[in-house]
Structure 1
Amino acid sequence: MSWSGFFKSRYAGVVARGMAMGAADVVPGVSGGTIAFITGIYQELLDSLSRIGPHAVTVLRRHGLAVAWQYINGSFLLALFSGVLLSIFSLARLIGFLLQTYPIVVWAFFFGLVLASAVPILRSIPRWSASVVLFLLIGVTTAVLISELRPGQIPATPVTLFLSGALAICAMILPGISGAFILLLIGIYPRVLVAVHEMQLLNLLCFAAGAGCGLLLFSRLLSWLMHHYLARTLAFLAGILLGSLKIIWPWKLPLAGVEGGVNKLAPLMSNTSPATFSAQTGESAYLGLALAAAGIAMALVLVVDGLGRRHREGKSCASPQ
């Protein structure tokens, strides 16, 4: 495919979605799965990943590379993860700088993003029942309990990097639970960022191998749940998303005993009100900018969701009866 053909195809948009997912995954508190859901590619992502396995190898041996590539939706996955990697390697330093320099405004933007993202998920639940409400509450409780965990510290060995990659990638494809947040909780997030910045290939390969294994296994489970227990699964995911708002509340104060150098990372902070934040820190709460950033993020999500629904309805009307 030529470059002009690429940009006229859907894959340019898939790359853009991947870049948005990668940018979200760098932030300890925001999930790339959230971006995938609100941009309308979540189910396709899960289904495509779940096809990578023994049967795909069988298709490859019997029918050749082209058929196997089409079977796993390879062009979609290549475009998406190219965007994710491009964003991670190009935006990791910028997002880290923004979080350290303008934390309240950045967290407010993502707070609005996540809050509005619950709307399309809740709207997608086909039917409500007592069990669906229960799974919604379980999701909220799960996210809140995770937010109460405090960071640990593990050494950065090939084995721990592999396991950390598997754990983080499972969180990444769950809307609302950030892979970067999980890495921060287990104390390996700074080491992963250093590996990215300094191109430590062995560490990156160990982490990527774990992420790849975790992604293939967990996406298969999620895809099965989405096809067999759609309402309950969506309710659980929406609950996780709503519960994760506690993690990314913009106004935070450092916990007792936490050094100031890391006091702007979400798991090391306690939530407070804008007024209390200003009173205790002597800094501006940036309330106006924060509300504006949250409002822009919410409007962006709702516009994207509306365009996506209109596109899906247009395709449905255009398809033969």
Structure 2
Amino acid sequence: MQRSFLDYLTITLKGMAMGAADVVPGVSGGTIAFISGIYEELIDTISGVDLSLIKTWKNKGLSAFWTQLNGNFIVALFTGILISVFTLMRLTNYLLETYPVLIWSFFFGLVLASIWYVGKQIPKWNFKIVIALIAGAGAALYVTSLPPMGSTDSLLYMLLAGALAVCAMILPGISGAFILVLLGAYKTVTQAAHNFDFKTIGIVAVGAVIGLLSFSKVLKWLFAHYTNLTLAVLTGFIAGSLNKIWPWKKILETAQYGDKEVVLKETSVLPWNFEGDSQLLFSIILMVAGFGLIFLLESLADTKPEKSNATN
């Protein structure tokens, strides 16, 4: 498709929104990709990375290769993600540490509205759709309530951790960083990055590439053949993740990874049972703001998720 400079600038802004979400534990960049209208194009683009690209480059030249790769889209999107990661990560971490209830309230409103947004893409609801929704919600709720596993330094395990984490990252509702915590690999990965352990980083990166390329093909197939059921499961995933980002928590167990403290176990409580200032009024205001942001992102969307003619 032909796009203008403004179109690619908009994609970069969406990438920045994805990057901002990815640096928050418990919030998925995949959710932002979906509600901003680029999720299926992202999945199609990633799944299209295969050996045929080399053949196209050899037989038709660099221009045809770049077009088949959807290179302009990739560059625009990942430029936004990288800008956000390197500029907003410190700010996001500061805000989460200083104003946790308020920031989580904003994200809760955003994710809550995204349930409505993804769900409304399903044109006709039936019994199978409802079951798929419940199954997705149950799976996400189960995953987010699992206790973290013990840390391991096995390179094969780190390869698997990288693959699973990146799969979670492109699934709306599931955080890749949270998956690393569950697998007991978060400490190893963060220490490797801090110590410039390129061997470990490289293994995790290889796992991430393998997971991304393979899982994107699975998602593409599901969207092509079972669009409505896939949308229902994704809606359930997002709904099931709400417990993870509920603003009022009682922390039961934490772990210190270098200079970063990570919560291992916590439970949701009602605002009036929260130990400390619940900041209820401002929290509600920020929830509404997060909810409203979904409508802004929807207005920026270039395309809506395509409906399949598959029977679901």
Question: TM class, shorter-chain normalised?
Answer: 0.7 to 0.9
TM-score, length of structure 2 as denominator length? 0.88
Find the partner of 1:290 among 283, 301, 309: 283
Matches within 5 A, 1:208-287: 208-255=205-252, 258-259=253-254, 265=262, 267-277=264-274, 281=275, 283-287=276-280
Change beyond 3 A, Cα 1:300–1:125: same
Name the structure 1 match of 2:11. Answer: 14
Say if 2:96 is the partner of 1:103. no
Name the structure 1 match of 2:85. Answer: 88
Conserved? CA contact 1:251–1:273, under 8 Å: yes
Structure ranking higher in helix proportion: 1
Conserved? CA contact 2:17–2:84, under 8 Å: yes
Identity %: 42
Say if 2:137 is the partner of 1:144. no
Name the structure 2 match of 1:178. Answer: 175
Name the structure 1 match of 2:162. Answer: 165
Change beyond 3 A, Cα 1:153–1:112: same
Name the structure 1 match of 2:21. Answer: 24
Partners of 2:175 and 2:270 in 1: CA distance: 23
More divergent stretch after superposition (114-123 vs 180-189):
180-189
Matches within 5 A, 1:120-131: 120-131=117-128
Matches within 5 A, 1:33-72: 33-72=30-69
Q: Name structure 1 gaps, 5 residues minimum.
A: 1-5, 314-321
More divergent stretch after superposition (193-202 vs 131-140):
193-202
Q: Structure 1 residue 11: deviation in Å?
A: 1.8
Change beyond 3 A, Cα 1:226–1:56: same
Q: Structure 1 residue 267: deviation in Å?
A: 4.8
Change beyond 3 A, Cα 1:86–1:202: farther
Conserved? CA contact 1:165–1:210, under 8 Å: yes
Q: Structure 1 residue 168: deviation in Å?
A: 0.8
Conserved? CA contact 2:152–2:185, under 8 Å: yes
- What is the SS of the residue equivalent to 1:254? strand
Partners of 2:289 and 2:123 in 1: CA distance: 29
What is the one-letter code of the residue matched to 1:122?
A: G
Q: Structure 1 residue 302: deviation in Å?
A: 1.8
Conserved? CA contact 1:247–1:266, under 8 Å: no
Change beyond 3 A, Cα 1:208–1:32: same
Q: Structure 1 residue 232: deviation in Å?
A: 0.3
Find the partner of 2:294 among 264, 282, 301: 301
Q: Residue deviations 1:122-166, cap 9 Å, x none?
A: 111132221111101101111111122011222345433332221
Conserved? CA contact 1:22–1:84, under 8 Å: yes
Change beyond 3 A, Cα 1:80–1:249: same
Q: Residue deviations 1:293-316, cap 9 Å, x none?
A: 1111100112222453xx659xxx
TM-score, length of structure 1 as denominator length? 0.86
Aligned-CA RMSD value: 2.4
Change beyond 3 A, Cα 1:89–1:191: farther
Partners of 1:284 and 1:199 in 2: CA distance: 40
What is the one-letter code of the residue matched to 1:153?
A: G
Conserved? CA contact 2:37–2:303, under 8 Å: no
Change beyond 3 A, Cα 1:29–1:94: same
- Paired residues, number: 300
Change beyond 3 A, Cα 1:27–1:312: closer
Name the structure 1 match of 2:310. Answer: none
More divergent stretch after superposition (201-210 vs 36-45):
201-210
Partners of 2:151 and 2:261 in 1: CA distance: 21
What is the one-letter code of the residue matched to 1:140?
A: A
Partners of 1:200 and 1:93 in 2: CA distance: 22
Q: Name structure 2 gaps, 5 residues minimum.
A: 305-312
